Amino acid sequence: MEADFVGWLNGGMGAWKFWDDFTEAIVGDYLAPVFGSLVLVGLWFSGGGVTRYANQLTTITGTMGVGFANGLTIAANSLWFRDRPFVNADLDLLFYRPTDSSFPANVAAVGFALGTAVFIRHRKVGLGLYLLAFLWGFARVYSGVHFPTDVLAGALIGVTAALLATLVVHQTEFILRRVLAVARLFLFA
């Protein structure tokens, strides 16, 4: 059923050039993660006093969340291997042919980890990152690189990873406060 859905969705490729061009821009490995990283860098240096400290904790949480999401995805990939949709179907691709497991989608894990970490403190920016993560995952399904459940599982991993990172940052804040104080002495924070 999922393969039929991906085939149907992918069959629309070429119908709207604007949509195909937009999807081709989103589907890649760079746009969404670079944008998310720039948001974290912007948070690191924005605000003053208490706000800046909270933004730096958000940046630490987001970075840690992405690390946890990648670790959980690697663990899941080692337990379950799933061929990508284009392996068993004749699909038009807007992307290269990855050879790793389709399940779970690492792009969704990373995107939703960033979105969740930022959403906890900055609702509007977090919603923007959630939208970007959704579009990134959808573009991968449209392009025949992932199944919808791959993206859904990746999103769940990403949210879980960010919540875990939030807990770790909260539990170690007394250490992070001191590390950030030293970093401020060297103009790093």
Per-residue pLDDT, 24: 85
User: How many Å apart are CA 62 and CA 114, to the nearest integer?
Assistant: 5
The answer to which of 58-72, 95-109, 125-139 has the lowest mean pLDDT is: 95-109
The answer on pLDDT for 27 being more than 90 is no
Residue range 72-121, pLDDT digits in tens? 999 999 898 988 888 787 777 777 787 788 899 999 999 999 999 999 99
Question: What is the mean pLDDT of the segment spanning 38-47?
Answer: 95
pTM, entire model: 0.89
Q: Where do the domains of the chain lie?
A: 29-79+95-136+150-185
Highest mean pLDDT among 17-31, 56-70, 81-95, 169-183: 56-70
